[in-house]
Amino acid sequence: MDTSHATLSRLLSGRSRPDFSTCAKLAGFLRLRVARVLELAGYAEVGALTGTDDAFLEEAVGRWTRLREEDKRFLLQVMQTLLDASADSQ
């Protein structure tokens, strides 16, 4: 999986939660849908992603894993700003 033993140990012990890239790797390694791994990792309620367009989700996660770290940080900042603005307007 190209993941360190320390990272796997933290995941298995519950001391940390996998990021999206690790979820995608786990899904491929375990031959599970990425949506299911995201649910199990706590990014969505179990069953919440059922019925979603799995191909779209798989592609989105795949694209995310290929982004440079600086681009991931930028996109996360944009998403947080949008969430904050949405919360402020309610």
pLDDT tens, 45-72? 777 666 655 666 677 777 777 888 888 8
Q: What is the mean pLDDT of residues 23-52?
A: 78
Whole-number Cα distances in Å, 33 to 45, 65, 82? 15, 15, 28
Q: 46 and 39 in contact (C-beta within 8 Å)? A: yes
Burial zone of 6 (CB within 10 Å; 0-12 exposed, 13-18 middle, 19+ buried): exposed
CA distance 57 to 86: 24
Q: What is the pLDDT of residue 74?
A: 84
